[in-house]
Chains A and B, each alone.
Chain A
């Protein structure tokens, strides 16, 4: 079984400040890990993914995430927040061995960027 926990359902940062969104996973096998972003009234868009190559993964819009096996974490960061980053962010884990290759999502973190 696999699961994802996102710490903090709401995070607020000032424009220009560091963004840190936390994600911890549980998986019985080496996972694939993903971050998706959802803007209001839209579907989810892939930000970045970890598939066992480099542990530091760079994504779109200046976001990156680091896979830390010892901490079972995959936190999302961005050095300087922009107003356009305001959205909901979802961490997800995929079981590499399951026939469905299903994604299990966290409950999401709503990011607010303050001017």
Chain B
């Protein structure tokens, strides 16, 4: 079934450790996104990528980095995790057609991360 997969499903991490959240899509979408979801705050954009080889900062990028080496994969790395990064992380992708832009984003199932 086509879609977005995220790994791991959940993780408990000690503060100061490095962690990479994985995201893979098989829809050949150009754009990919990372969000964090916190109670009462909705989803906030961390980083995005319009196409392979390019990335950009979202609303809350500090403490996170991303790379986009190919179309399918968009990993999110926490170089040195802190407790405030405890959250649910969602990866998303969109076709980003030009002209008649669709902008519909398709979401993965999420990764629940706890930093102690």
CA distance A111 to B102 in the complex (A): 27
Q: Contact partner of B104 among A34, A105, A106, CB < 8 A?
A: A34
Task: Kindly list chain B residues whose C-beta atoms are within 8 Å of the C-beta of A94.
Answer: 103
Residues 41-58 of chain A: 1 if any B CB is under 8 Å from the residue's CB, otherwise 0? Answer: 111111001010000000
Residues 6-37 of chain A: 1 if any B CB is under 8 Å from the residue's CB, otherwise 0? Answer: 00010000000000000000000000101010
CB of B42 within 8 A of CB of A101, answer no
Q: Does A60 contact B (CB under 8 A)?
A: no
Q: Does A77 contact B (CB under 8 A)?
A: no
Task: Kindly list chain B residues whose C-beta atoms are within 8 Å of the C-beta of A96.
Answer: 101, 103
Task: Kindly list chain B residues whose C-beta atoms are within 8 Å of the C-beta of A34.
Answer: 103-104
CB of B42 within 8 A of CB of A105, answer yes
Minimal Cβ-Cβ distance residue in B for A107: B42
- Name B78-109 residues within 8 Å CB distance of A: 90, 92, 94, 96, 101-109
Chain A interface bracket (under 10, 10 to 19, 20 to 34, 35 or more): 20 to 34
Task: Kindly list chain A residues whose C-beta atoms are within 8 Å of the C-beta of B44.
Answer: 105
CB of A9 within 8 A of CB of B40, answer yes
Task: Kindly list chain A residues whose C-beta atoms are within 8 Å of the C-beta of B90.
Answer: 43-44
Task: Kindly list chain A residues whose C-beta atoms are within 8 Å of the C-beta of B109.
Answer: 42-43
CB of A101 within 8 A of CB of B94, answer yes
Chain B CB within 10 Å, residue with most, of A9, A100, A104, A107: A100
Q: Does A90 contact B (CB under 8 A)?
A: yes
A67 CB, nearest partner CB in chain B, Å:
15
Interface pairs (18), CB distance under 8 Å: A32-B101, A34-B103, A34-B104, A43-B4, A43-B90, A43-B108, A43-B110, A45-B107, A94-B103, A96-B103, A101-B50, A101-B103, A103-B43, A103-B103, A104-B45, A105-B35, A105-B42, A105-B43
Known A51-B101, A105-B35; further 12 A-B contacts with Cβ < 8 A: A43-B108, A45-B107, A46-B106, A51-B103, A90-B43, A94-B103, A101-B31, A101-B50, A101-B103, A102-B58, A103-B45, A103-B105
